A = this chain, B = another copy of it.
Amino acid sequence: MTEDKKEGLMEKIVSLCKRRGFVFQGSEIYGGLAGTWDYGPYGAELSNNLKNLWWKMFISDREDVYAVDTAIIMNPKVWEASGHVSGFSDPLVECDKCHHRFRADQLDHENKEQNKCPDCGSKLGSERQFNMMFKTNIGAMEDESSVSYLRPETAGGMFVNFKNIMDSIHPKLPFGMGQIGKAFRNEIAPRDFIFRSREFRQMEIEYFVNPKDWEQSFEEWRQTIISWCKEIGLNEDNVHELEVADGDRAHYSNRTIDFEFDYPFGRKELYGLAYRTDFDLRSHSTASGQDLSYFDEENKERFTPHVIEPSLGLDRTILAVLCEAYTEDELGGEVRTYLKFVPKIAPVKIAVFPLLKNKPELVEKAREVYKELKKEFGAVMFDDNGNIGKRYRRQDEIGTPWCVTIDFETIEKDAGVTVRDRDNGEQKRMSVSELKDYVKSVLNS
């Protein structure tokens, strides 16, 4: 991304997302709730397209990954064993006077040195650790015995089901478990739109391997993530692999690559690929007293499988594809904004217009074409609202790759429809069946 493009880009994207129905602030009419976001129609469809693509690439196209869908509220022992209860915290400081709270590691140099509140200038209290898990009480008693947590990552639900999968499906190593689901972190300072929120969606795989094979699996999943980034239209120049240094990795990991993306607010973590060793199964085995080992029939050896974890955040993906897609150019002498999504993730594939709304013969034909295309592609929209220019601008901002107009030539001369390309604004005339073949070939490429 050029510096020029970055200038004010986040504000523009947030504004477009609200204006066009991609993303709204959570509980907005009540003044919002910090760190929560609601997806509107196009954001929900974009989410679905990305989820389906991930599901296909990471689960269904493979034979060795089993889907699960596990609970958000888990037995607190899960998070004691995983280390989250004792260690999943951020350093917090609070102002003695205005009681505003800050993440100690995000204070700027001056405030930190002088122990001064960035908001009111008074003295900051001493640093303490703040656990980021949301706590709740389960059952009718509200005391320590009933404390539960909302999962801070979907991974835990997979580790505790390792034994269930072994007992029911009896897979051989290597195999994985995968799920898409919500996770929750009580961020002290949620920020950067949907990048760091308190409620977010993860697409995670836990892939169990014989420890001697970990490097090969790690490399295969690295390649899968690279293919995924390409598939969803991220420019490879904007994605960077960061080999996380020994001292900086999570306590459970022997190797981690952060896939970082050049967001307008800086280069930040998009995905993580971690070699978690046997930390999780071993910890849960010790804490639960259950045998979570694996018996290799071929070599007659018993061991605890090791884990490779490709972890993808859905909301960070959406923000990345929005940043990547957001484009301003000049078309026909006017500045326009459009979202250059790769067609397979675009929330609307085709918009169908009757040239004029008040000509029944045009509307009727347009409805007919609309129905035919919708049956084939699903995500097709009928749009007769406003003049053609206004409709193009709307579809450009939604990121619709193709706008199809039914005009008098369509009905009088059987001359096909005009198909307008989002990216260059060019219009071509073709029959509906040519259009269908063309769209199919693009979507399957």
Query: Are the CB atoms of A18 and B71 closer together than 8 Å?
Result: no
Q: Residue A21 contacts which of B157, B164, B379 (CB distance < 8 angstroms)?
A: B164
A80, closest chain B residue (CB):
B30
Which residues of chain B are within 8 angstroms of A434 by Cβ–Cβ distance? none
Whether the pair B30, A164 counts as a contact (CB closer than 8 A) is no
Residues of A210-258 whose CB lies within 8 A of B: none
Which of chain B's residues has its CB closest to A292's CB?
A: B29
User: Do B70 and A39 have beta carbons less than 8 Å apart?
Assistant: yes
Closest B residue by C-beta to A22? B168
A44–B141 Cα gap in the complex (Å)? 32
Interface string of A37-49 (1 = CB under 8 A from B): 1111101110110
List residues of A (51-103) whose CB comes within 8 Å of B's CBs: 55, 60, 63, 66-75, 77-78, 92, 94, 99, 101
User: Quick check: B72 and A19 within 8 Å, CB to CB?
Assistant: no
Q: Which residues of B contact A72 (CB under 8 A)?
A: 72, 182, 184, 199
Q: Which residue of B lies closest to A100 (CB)?
A: B140
> Which A residues from 124 to 139 make CB contacts under 8 A with B?
130, 134-139
* A293 located at the interface, meaning its Cβ lies under 8 Å from any Cβ of chain B in the complex: no
Query: Once the chains bind, are B73 and A184 in contact (CB under 8 Å)?
Result: yes
Contacts of A344 in B (CB 8 A): none
Tell me the residues in window 97-150 of chain A with beta carbons closer than 8 Å to chain B beta carbons: 99, 101, 130, 134-141, 148, 150
Please state if B66 and A163 are interface contacts (CB–CB under 8 Å): no
Per the bound structure, the CA–CA distance linking A11 and B32 in Å amounts to 46
| Contact of B78 with A30 in the complex, beta carbons under 8 Å | yes
* Contacting residues, chain B, for A32 (C-beta < 8 A): 75
- What chain B residues lie within 8 Å of A148 (beta carbons)? 33
Chain B residues near A165 (CB, 8 Å)? 21, 40-41
Question: Would you give 29 A-B contacts (Cβ < 8 Å), ordered by A?
Answer: A19-B168, A21-B165, A21-B169, A26-B70, A27-B71, A27-B75, A28-B163, A29-B288, A29-B290, A29-B292, A30-B160, A33-B71, A36-B71, A37-B71, A38-B164, A39-B69, A40-B161, A44-B69, A44-B179, A48-B55, A60-B378, A73-B198, A73-B199, A101-B139, A134-B137, A135-B136, A138-B186, A138-B198, A139-B188
